[in-house]
Structure 1
Amino acid sequence: MSLKLRFVQLDVFSTVRFLGNPLAIVHIPEGVELSQSQKQLIAREFNLSETVFLHETSDSNAAVTIDIFTTTEELPFAGHPTIGSGWYLLSQTARKDTITLRTKAGQIPVVRDGGRVVLQVPIDFKVHAPFLQPNLKALQPHLDDKDYMNGKHGAEALVSIVKGMTFILLELTSEEALAKMQPLPTRITAPDLGDWAGLVGVYAFYERLDGVVRTRMFDGTLEDPATGSAASTLAGWLARKNGPGKWNIEIVQGVEMGRRSEIAVKVEIGSDGEVVRVDLGGSAVEAMEGLVCVDS
C-alpha cells in the first residue's frame, strides 16, 4: 500500500516559469511521518539541487517546519529552498506578510516585500587568507591570463558565510570570460579551514558597469543556476570592500544554463568594517504540481 503526498515544483529566483532554480516542495500532513531514508529517496527521485518537506500545521500562527534535502544529504539551511518555501506559503494568503520557517539551523522569519520575499541569512562571516589552487585555472582551457582579474597565477578570495560553507570567489574580467568557464572534473579543495571546513564551491563573477554582478557557481562537475549562500558570501565580501553602511547588490546567475536567476542581497557593514547582517531576497513562480507515491 502506498501513501500519496501532494507536491508543487517552483522555479525560485525568477518570475518566469522554467527559468530560475527548480525546487520541489512535498507536503507532509499532520500526523504523517516519513523516515530519513524515505525523504532521501524522494529527494533523489526529484534529482533537483534541493527538495523541501513541508510539515503542515493547523495553527496558522505557528512556525512551519521544513526539512531541506539534496540528492545525497539533509542540510540545516540553504537560501534557495528557504526563499522558495517562504514565497510559496505567503502566496497562499493575503492576510499576513511574515511567516516563520523552522529549519535545522533555527527559526527564520520570511517577509513579503512586494513581489519578492526577504529573509535574514544566518552568518558567521570569515575572510580567509587569499588562496591559490593551481588546478582551478589549469582546468579552464578556454581562459587565459587576461580573463582573470588576478591573472592566471594569482590568488583568489576564500570566504565562508558560515562554518562548513566556503566559496572561492573567482573574479573574471568580462562576461565573455564567464561564459567560457567549464564545469570542473572534480571538487576543488582548500587548505585546512579549521572550524570552517566543509563545502568549498567555486563562485565565478564579473561586475558589470551598471552595478549588476553576473555569476556562475560550480561544485565539481555540477553547475547551480541560483545559489543563495554563494550570492550572500560574494555580496558580503564586495560590501566589506565598500566600507561601513548598507549596500544593495543585485546578482544574476544561471544565464549560461538557460535558467536566468535574479538574486537580491542587502548587506550591512559595521563601523569596524565587518559584516553585521545579510538579507537575501528573491521571487518564485509555480511550475507544476502532482502526487508523490511513497511505500508505507
Structure 2
Amino acid sequence: MTTVDVHVVRVFVDPSGAFGNPLGIVDGTLVPVDARLGVAAALGYSETVFIDDPADGVLQIFTPTVEMPFAGHPTVGVAWWLHSQGYDTPVLRVPAGPVPVTRSGDITSVQADPSWGSTFTWRQLESPDEVLAADPASFSDDHTYLWSWISEETGTIRSRMFAPAMGIPEDEATGSAATQLTARLARPLHITQGTGSQLLTTLISPTAVTVGGRVAAAPSHTFNL
C-alpha cells in the first residue's frame, strides 16, 4: 500500500479569497495511469490533476468519470500551485496541446483554443436571478451552461454549469466554458459562476482565449493506493 499526498487548491476565488472550485493535485509518478480514473472518482473533486513532470508541465486531468484533454480550472490551479512550489513552468502540456501560462499580480491565466473544451448546451437567460433560481436536478445533458448579462456594457456575466452525466451535478467554476463563451461573444468577460467564483477572460483570436483568476491553497490530505 502506498500513501499518496493530495494537494488541494481553490481556483477562481473572489478578491477576499472566498468561493472557488476545489482541485485535487497528485504526483502522477506515484499513481499508475490505469489507476488514475479510479483515484479521481474516489477523491470526488470535479477534476483531479496528476502531474507527471512538474518542470515541463506534463499532466493529465480526470473528472470522476472520464479523462479530459483540457480543462480550465485544473490548468489555472496547477499553474498557480507549481509556481508556489518554486517551479518556473511557462507552458503546461495536456493531451489537447500546449497551454501557455501568464501571471499578473494575483491573477494566474492560461491560454487555450476554445475548441478544446467540452461541448456545452448554452442557455442565455433574461436575468441573474433566473440563473440563480435554476434547479440542478432539472438538467440531464452532459454539460448545460446557464448565463445572463449582469451588465452587457461592462462585459459582466452571471452563470452556472451542470454536468450530471459527468458525475458533476454543478460545477463551481468552469474555465473551458468561459473560453468558449468569450469566443462566442468575441469580447473579454468577467464571469461570476456558482456560489461566487470569479473568472476573467481575454480574447486574443478566435482560436486563442485566456482564462484566469485567483487561486488559494486549501488543506491537503492523503489517500492509500
TM-score range, shorter chain: 0.7 to 0.9
Cα 1:33–1:204 shift into 2, 3 Å? closer
Q: Give the ranges of 4+ consecutive aligned residues of structure 1 lying more than 6 Å apart after TM superposition.
A: none
The equivalent position to 1:181 in structure 2, one of 134, 139, 145, is: 134
Preserved contact between residue 53 and residue 59 of structure 2 (Cα < 8 Å): no
Q: How far, CA to CA, are the matches of 1:173 and 1:116 in structure 2? A: 30
Pairwise mapping of residues 125-164 of structure 1 onto structure 2 (< 5 A)?
Answer: 161-162=115-116
**Alignment equivalent of 1:90, drawn from 79, 83, 92:** 83
**Cα deviation, residue 109, structure 1:** 2.1
d(CA) in 2 for partners of 1:181 and 1:33?
38
Cα distance in 2 for residues equivalent to 1:4 and 1:114 = 35
State how far apart, in whole Å, the 2-side matches of 1:122 and 1:232 are. Answer: 8
1:161-184 C-alpha deviation (Å, 9 max, x unpaired): 34x722222111222211211124
2:180 corresponds to: 233
Amino acid at match of 1:223: E
Residue number among 47, 50, 53 corresponding to 1:53 in the alignment: 50
Task: After TM superposition, give the deviation of residue 276 of structure 1 in Å.
Answer: 4.2
Larger radius of gyration between Structure 1 and Structure 2: 1
**What's 1:120 paired with?**
111
1:251 is matched with 191
Rounded to whole Å, the distance in 2 between the matches of 1:76 and 1:252 is 24
Shift of the alpha carbon at 1:187?
2.4
Partner Cα distance (2:209, 2:118) in 1: 15
Equivalent residue number for residue 280 of structure 1: 211
**Residue 38 of structure 2 is aligned to residue 41 of structure 1:** yes
Residue 141 of structure 1 corresponds to none
In structure 2, how many angstroms separate the alpha carbons of the residues matched to 1:108 and 1:232? 13
Specify which of 127, 131, 156 is matched with residue 212 of structure 1.
Answer: 156
The partner residue of 2:144 within 189, 192, 202 is: 202
The gaps in structure 2 that reach 5 residues or longer are none
- Structure number with the higher strand fraction is 2
The residue matched to 1:165 in structure 2 has which SS? Answer: coil
Amino acid of the structure 2 residue aligned with 1:284:
V
CA offset at residue 90 of structure 1? 1.1
Task: Kindly indicate whether the alpha-carbon contact (under 8 Å) linking 1:10 and 1:24 is maintained by their aligned counterparts in 2.
Answer: yes
Alignment map for 1:266-277 (pairs within 5 Å): 266-269=202-205, 275-277=206-208
CA distance in structure 2 between the aligned counterparts of 1:17 and 1:81, rounded to whole angstroms: 17
8 Å Cα contact 2:10/2:21 also seen in 1 = yes
The offset of 1:35, in angstroms, is 3.6
Name the counterpart of 1:11.
10
Map of 1:111 onto structure 2: 102
Deviation at 1:122, TM superposition (A): 2.1
**In the alignment, residue 9 of structure 1 is paired with which amino acid?**
V
TM-score by length of 1: 0.68
1:185 Cα shift?
4.4
RMSD after superposition: 2.2
Mind listing any 5+ residue stretches in structure 1 that lack a counterpart?
124-160, 189-199, 240-246, 270-274
CA shift in 2, pair 1:203/1:33, >3 Å = closer
Contact 1:18 1:287 in 2 (8 A): no
Q: Hey, what's the Cα distance between the residues in 2 that align with 1:77 and 1:284?
A: 18
The CA distance in 1 between the partners of 2:65 and 2:136, in whole Å, is 20
Higher mean alpha-carbon deviation, 223-232 vs 206-215, is at 206-215
1:165/1:56 Cα in 2 relative to 1: closer, same or farther (>3 Å)? closer
The answer to whether the Cα contact below 8 Å between 2:112 and 2:207 also exists between their aligned partners in 1 is no
Contact kept? 1:52, 1:69, Cα under 8 Å: yes
- Do the aligned partners of 1:183 and 1:222 also contact (CA within 8 Å) in 2? yes
Q: How many residues align?
A: 219
Aligned to 1:68: 61
Q: Secondary structure at the match of 2:136?
A: coil
Q: Distance in 1 between matches of 2:18 and 2:51?
A: 22
AA in 1 matched with 2:94:
T
